[in-house]
A and B are shown apart, each in its own frame.
Chain A
Amino acid sequence: MKQLTRLALAAALATGFASSALAQASEQFFPQLTYRTGAYAAYGIPWSNGKVDYLKMVNARDGGVNGVKLTFEECETGYATDRGVECYERLKTRPGVAVVEPLATGITFALTEKAPVDKIPLMTMGYGLSISQDGNAFPWNFPFLGSYWTGADILIQHLGKQAGGLDKLKGKKIAYVYHDSPFGKDAIPLLEKRAQMHGFALQLMPVTAPGVEQKSTWLQVRQNRPDYLILYGWGVMNTTALKEAQATGFPRDKMYSIWWGGTEPAVRDVGDGAKGFNALSLYTHGTSSKVMQDILKLVHDAKQGTGPREEVGNVLYMHGVITQMLAVEAVRVAQEKFGKGKVMTGEQVRWGMENLKLDAKRLKELGFDGVMQPLATSCSNHMGSSAARVYAWDGKDWKYTSDWYQADEKVLEPLIKEQADKYLADKKLARRTDCQ
């Protein structure tokens, strides 16, 4: 009992210290939900490093946004939904909260329910709820640059091109190997629709999370002999899939993954065995861009860097940098409307996220010249851009093999409308009316 009281006393003391060290009100606060431990840490670490380094760089280079300093605090979720919710609740109470990025599909779903109540925008770049690109139905969600549906759509377009036209896909067999969670399942309606349109056979092959056990899946691949294989894997699952493909003898150049497969941790341990493996890419990685040079110079040279210097510019690191840039730009845009040099509220930042206009000129000013395609969001379009390219692993680096694709709005739009309406009807919610 004595030990217990002592422990409680220490706890009370320490929380007292913690609350006195809270951020000042004149700072814009970016909660960082991370997972640096657990089954998916190989993905979570570089991603978070990129996000945090970008904030440090903006503070060092520009002194924040119009004089408003950018602060952040990390909270470890371990990719678990309940811990993510706890982190969100803990960090959302800080003064000057701008935007929350859940970093995991499961946490995104839970926070989608909470964000409208707290009036905090949710940013999910390249993941999250696919139908949430419909800003009329999901006022607080922002799946920038792409969703699982746009990714799947582009992959089918690319496969059609490889086969010599989308009509040539008729009679072909496409296997869909996916993480058996909302992440992997989300793309199925889109793929099914495409299968109906073009007449290819879609073979669904779920892999139980976290994805290290895939023997039975690859036995199925061996039996069914698909012409192409689409891989929606996350973290360790991608590596395992590549190793299994090698063992099964399935040609890696017939394997296509969404951007989460096109990362260094996915192929690093497989080495030559991953040669020819294709994946989507949303942006150009590497350290040649100005923004990466700034980060290296202002953050890493100043010994302020997060994580190892040689990982700067990796695919996932870049993902973090771009996400954070979009968030910071949203704050900047919001300040132009609501007052420069002020700390923005969640609602004001949301306005900024709905009015992002990053054309080629602006991207160049920001140091993202040649890194990504221009992007423009609106009240009803919360994605901004769905551009992606295909690249292939050559054993050492990712090499681009295609031009930019755009997801086909004609295919996506009716599906998004239908599913979003169903979502709203289930929840007895109405569409937004304040959009033009």
Chain B
Amino acid sequence: MFYRENGQFKTSYRADQQVFPILQDKIAVWALIAACFVLVPMLASDYFYLAILIPLVIMSLAALGVNILVGYCGQISLGSGAFMAVGAYGAYNFVARVPDMPLIPALILGGLCATFFGILFGLPSLRVKGLYLAVATLAAQFFSDWMFLRIKWFTNDSPSGSVSVNNLQVFGIPIQSPQAKYLFCLALLVVMAILAKNLVRSAIGREWMAIRDMDVAASVIGIRPMYAKLSAFAVSSFIVGVAGALWGFVHLGAWEPAAFSVDISFKLLFMVIIGGLGSIMGSFFGAAFIVVLPIVLNLVLPALLGVFGVEISTAGISHTELMIFGALIVWFLIVEPHGLAKLWSTGKQKMRVWPFPH
């Protein structure tokens, strides 16, 4: 009824190539972004910021980066945690070693370190693909674990191997309060998401998808696999690296290599698969599913069982949380193997044809 594109005529290529061709979509997305910037800060509590919103925003950014590599270019990677770590430690070293290093250039330089690292460990993708590549990228993970644990230079000779940052500020505005941290991460996420969305729609994005769908056919029609694959690794690890730097700088404040362990690589891969491969929107859904659901279950379960007079131990909650979480993943993958993003677009399609489904 309201979601109809009747009467919205496109009279130029420009109009036809909009990110959101339907007017309602465009309004809804801008309204959503505005709500995130204006409405959320009016409502959220400190806990909501620090424990849910900030990790969610940062993980969305990381998932976005992984999605470019895995979802758009089809190069399965288990080294995302390593790219995050390189971004975090890279940015840390710039802050620690360069006097008066501003935050945003530090984050970008951290991302560039991750880019370099990503290209280096993306080289095997020129020879192997699929599961074999996944195992090869796992090497990046183990290498970064080893590197940040053992090479003291990277941790500025900290005796414990744990590093920390403080007094973050951008253009003289301190990034200290939960609200400022959230808005800062959100602003970065929006900018990167818009850039990423346009990138995947451009020629290079089409090359990535061609490589993903069939690399031999793609190279026959003139796409250089080396260029396409390595550029996907570069762009993806840049975004993941910036997310890693944010995770260390803004969310944790102090971190050790274990904060970017192989667990985080797996989590990011799950986010992309559950959210939807090859979908920018899906990255956000996936991040929300993996970050928020365990916390919500943790909060809801005791209260829910309390209504029925059942008391549950801390360990019990934790085990139940894992079981429910696992079951939901399996259920989602069976019911909607293309991820939550597909569910979303099916919903939109249903709205478009309502009330005359065909």
Contacts and interface: CB of A to CB of B under 8 A. Distances in A.
Given A15-B300, A109-B162, 13 more contacts: A17-B307, A41-B315, A81-B259, A85-B51, A85-B251, A90-B299, A106-B256, A113-B166, A113-B254, A114-B253, A182-B162, A185-B161, A209-B258
Interface in A28-71: 34, 36-37, 41, 45, 48
A81 B258 contact: yes
Contacts of A181: 149, 161, 256-258
Output the residue of A105, A112, A180, A419 with the most chain B CB within 10 A.
Answer: A180
A89 B304 contact: no
Given A110-B252, A113-B253, A14 B259 contact: no
Contact of B296 (A11, A206, A209, A428): A11
B347 interface: yes
B51 A90 contact: yes
A1 B343 contact: yes
A427 B160 contact: no
Given A93-B45, A109-B164, A14 B304 contact: yes
Contacts of A1: 343, 347
B93 interface: no
Interface string A189-210: 1000000000000000010110
11 contacts: A14-B307, A17-B303, A17-B307, A76-B317, A82-B259, A93-B45, A106-B259, A182-B256, A209-B258, A427-B164, A427-B167
A74 B298 CA distance: 11
Given A36-B313, A206-B149, A185 B51 contact: no
A181 B167 CA distance: 26
A302 interface: no
Contacts of A45: 315
Contacts of A15: 299-300, 303
Interface in A169-221: 180-182, 185-186, 188-189, 206, 208-209
Interface string B39-67: 00000011100111001000000000000
Specify which of A1, A37, A117 lies most central, judged by the most chain B CB atoms within 10 Å of its CB: A37
Interface in B115-166: 145, 149-150, 156, 159-162, 164, 166
Given A17-B307, A36-B315, A109 B256 contact: yes
A262 interface: no
A150 to B, nearest CB: 15
Given A18-B303, A106-B162, A86 B295 contact: yes
Interface string A109-150: 110111001000000000001100000000000000000000
Contact of A419 (B159, B296, B300): B159
Interface of A is mostly: helix
B255 interface: yes
A254 B232 CA distance: 54
A80 B258 CA distance: 9
A209 B146 CA distance: 12
Contacts of A90: 47, 51, 299
Report which residue of B166, B296, B315 has the largest number of chain A beta carbons within 10 angstroms of its beta carbon. B315
B224 interface: no
B325 to A, nearest CB: 13
Contact of B252 (A18, A82, A130, A182): A82
Interface residues of B, number: 49
Contact of A76 (B45, B162, B306, B315): B315
Contacts of A105: 160
A18 B303 CA distance: 6
A14 B303 contact: yes
B24 interface: no
A186 B45 contact: no
A76 B314 contact: yes
B302 interface: yes
Contact of B176 (A14, A74, A117, A209): A117
A133 to B, nearest CB: 14
A185 B150 CA distance: 10
Interface string A415-434: 00001000000111100000
Nearest to B340: A4
B4 interface: no
Interface string B309-326: 000011101110010000
A313 interface: no
A45 B316 CA distance: 12
A86 B160 CA distance: 23
A78 interface: yes
A427 B166 contact: yes
Contact of A186 (B50, B150, B160, B319): B160
B51 A89 contact: yes
Interface of A: 1, 10-11, 14-15, 17-18, 21, 34, 36-37, 41, 45, 48, 74-76, 78, 80-82, 85-86, 89-90, 93, 105-106, 109-110, 112-114, 117, 129-130, 180-182, 185-186, 188-189, 206, 208-209, 419, 426-429
B22 interface: no
Contacts of A74: 314
A81 B253 contact: no
B254 A185 contact: no
B263 to A, nearest CB: 8
B96 interface: yes
A185 B159 CA distance: 7
A75 B315 CA distance: 9
B159 A186 contact: yes
A73 B299 CA distance: 12
B319 A37 contact: yes
Interface in B288-308: 295-296, 298-300, 302-304, 306-307
Contact of A185 (B160, B255, B347): B160
Given A14-B304, A15-B303, A81-B255, A182 B164 contact: no
Contacts of B322: 37
Nearest to A48: B314
Contacts of B156: 426
Contacts of B252: 81-82, 85, 110, 113
A15 B45 CA distance: 14
A10 B304 contact: yes
A100 to B, nearest CB: 14
B286 to A, nearest CB: 15
Name which of B96, B176, B254 has the most chain A CB atoms within 10 A of its CB: B254
Contacts of A86: 51-52, 55, 295
B46 A93 contact: yes
Contacts of B303: 14-15, 17-18, 21
